[in-house]
């Protein structure tokens, strides 16, 4: 059962790097958070995130999948946050395409929830990290639940996957490496998963946040 340990500025980035090296998706791996990232009072990273990731053997169930306790803690956190912000909304857990989401929908006469998404989904990413950190502190588990606001993530997931497939087919045909637009860690993992289905292609995340992006190449091509 191959295993790697990686560190990065955030848990999501560390996981992304480990999954890319192992060549598996998050659903095919067991993820252990060794150390959460922490920031200093000035907002500078004072402690990197460290994770240990290993691939699952065929037929072996994944330990640490979302339990009822994880889901309850996650839902409680999101509802409490919405209350503090004064945003009336509905919160429920749903599953779509093998992914479990905490769906947040505005009440009919509620405020616009775009503030929870932010530009390019960056606020939503931060909200999800806070939720997962809260669940980890409460239960000790790595929570896989995705926070989604009015189906933003589901629509983004489809767009990113379609774009990755288009670029992959072009790189496979021309042999020329191509880079996608800057993306968050979640979207980059989606791209890595798509490229992993194309024989003869490889993908790698390059650059620094917030301009980190995925570059797709033919296997064996020198960066």
Strands (DSSP E) along 97-145, which ranges? 99-106
By C-alpha distance, which of 177, 168, 174 is closest to 217? Answer: 177
pLDDT at 40 over 50: no
Residues 15 and 55 in one domain: yes
Residues 79 and 131 in one domain: yes
Residues 2 and 48 in one domain: yes
Residues 146 and 162 in one domain: no
Domain of residue 138: give its range: 68-150
Residues 10 and 39 in one domain: yes
The packing angle between helices 68-85 and 122-139, to 10°, is 130
Residues 136 and 124 in one domain: yes
Residues 143 and 72 in one domain: yes
Give phi and psi for 29, each to the nearest 5: -135, 155
The number of domains in the chain is: 3
Where does a domain end: 132, 150, 168? 150
pLDDT tens-digit series, residues 130-145: 998 899 889 887 788 8
pLDDT tens-digit series, residues 197-216: 899 999 988 888 778 899 99
> Cβ contacts of residue 41 below 8 Å, gap of 6+?
none
Where does a domain end: 125, 150, 175? 150
Where does a domain end: 91, 126, 150? 150
Q: Is the pTM of this model over 0.85?
A: no
How far apart CA 136 and CA 124 sit, in angstroms, is: 18
* Cα–Cα distances in angstroms (integers) from residue 136 to residues 27, 42, 86, 152, 185, in the given order: 18, 25, 26, 25, 19
């Amino acid at each position: 059962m191959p295993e790697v340990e990686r560190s990065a500025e955030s848990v999501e980035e560390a996981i992304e790097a480990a999954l890319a090296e192992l060549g598996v998706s998050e659903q095919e791996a067991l993820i252990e958070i060794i150390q959460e990232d922490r920031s200093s009072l000035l907002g500078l990273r004072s402690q990197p995130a460290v994770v240990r990731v290993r691939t699952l053997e065929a037929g072996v169930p994944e330990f640490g999948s979302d339990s009822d306790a994880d889901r309850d803690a996650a839902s409680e956190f999101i509802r409490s946050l919405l209350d503090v912000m004064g945003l009336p909304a509905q919160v429920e857990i749903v599953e779509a395409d093998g992914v479990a989401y905490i769906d947040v929908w505005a009440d009919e006469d509620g405020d616009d929830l775009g503030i929870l998404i932010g530009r390019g989904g960056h606020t939503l990413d931060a909200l999800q990290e806070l939720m997962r950190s809260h669940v980890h502190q409460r239960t000790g588990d790595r929570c896989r639940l995705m926070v989604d606001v009015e189906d933003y993530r589901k629509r983004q997931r489809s767009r990113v996957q379609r774009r990755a497939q288009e670029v992959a087919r072009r790189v496979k045909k021309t042999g020329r490496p191509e880079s996608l637009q800057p993306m968050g860690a979640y979207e980059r993992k989606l791209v890595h998963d798509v490229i992993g289905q194309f024989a003869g292609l490889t993908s790698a995340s390059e650059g620094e946040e917030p301009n980190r992006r995925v570059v797709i190449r033919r296997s064996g091509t020198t960066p």
